[in-house]
Amino acid sequence: MAPMTEPGEEMYALVERMYPLCRSITGDGVRATLRIVDEYIPLHVHEVPTGTQVLDWTVPKEWNIRDAYVADADGRRVVDFAASSLHVLGYSVPVSATMPLAELRPHLHTLPEQPSWVPYRTSYYRPEWGFCLAQETLDALPEGDYEVRIDSTLADGHLTYAEHVVPGQVSDEVLVSCHTCHPSLANDNLAGIAVATFLARELAERNPYYTYRFVFAPGTIGAITWLARNRERVERVKHGLVLACAGDPGQLTYKQSRRGDAEIDRVLRHVLTASERPHRVAPFTPYGYDERQYCSPGFDLPVGSLTRTPYAGYPEYHTSADNLDFVSPAAMADTLAVCREAFAVLDRNRRYVNLSPYGEPQLGRRGLYDSLGGRSDAKQAQMAMLWVLSLSDGEHGLLDVAERSGLSFDTVAAAADALHGAGLIKA
Domain identity same for 265 and 250: yes
Domain identity same for 101 and 21: no
pLDDT single digits (tens) 274-299: 999 999 999 999 999 999 999 999 99
Whether residue 32 has pLDDT greater than 70: yes
The answer to whether position 266 is within a domain reads yes
Domain boundary among 291, 316, 348: 348
Residues 254-267, mean pLDDT to the nearest whole number: 98
pLDDT single digits (tens) 308-336: 999 999 999 999 999 999 999 999 999 99
Domain identity same for 54 and 183: yes
Judged by DSSP in three states, 36 sits in helix
- Counting residues of the chain whose pLDDT is more than 70, the rounded percentage is 97
Residues 415-419, mean pLDDT to the nearest whole number: 94
Instruction: Name the pLDDT band for 111 (thresholds 50, 70, 90).
Output: very high
Residue among 185, 116, 117 nearest 324 (CA): 185
Q: Which domain holds residue 380?
A: 351-426
Rg over alpha carbons for the chain, rounded to the nearest Å, is 25
Backbone angles phi, psi at 240, to 5 degrees: -160, 155
Least confident piece of the model among 2-11, 129-138, 152-161, 257-266: 2-11
Domain boundary among 154, 186, 205: 154
Instruction: Name the pLDDT band for 364 (thresholds 50, 70, 90).
Output: confident
Domain identity same for 185 and 238: yes
Domain identity same for 88 and 178: no
Burial degree of 410 (CB within 10 A; 0-12, 13-18, 19+): middle
Residues 163-187, mean pLDDT to the nearest whole number: 98
Domain identity same for 86 and 222: no
Domain identity same for 362 and 421: yes
Domain identity same for 268 and 322: yes
pLDDT at 378: 76
Task: Calculate the average pLDDT of the chain.
Answer: 95
pLDDT at 4: 39
The answer to whether position 172 is within a domain reads yes
Whether residue 173 has pLDDT greater than 90: yes
Burial degree of 334 (CB within 10 A; 0-12, 13-18, 19+): buried
Instruction: Name the pLDDT band for 272 (thresholds 50, 70, 90).
Output: very high
Number of domains in the chain: 3
Domain identity same for 377 and 332: no
The answer to whether position 1 is within a domain reads no
Distance from CA of residue 267 to its chain's centroid? 17
Domain identity same for 297 and 179: yes
Instruction: Specify the CATH number for the domain of residue 371.
Output: 1.10.10.10
Residues 357-362, mean pLDDT to the nearest whole number: 92
Domain identity same for 179 and 252: yes
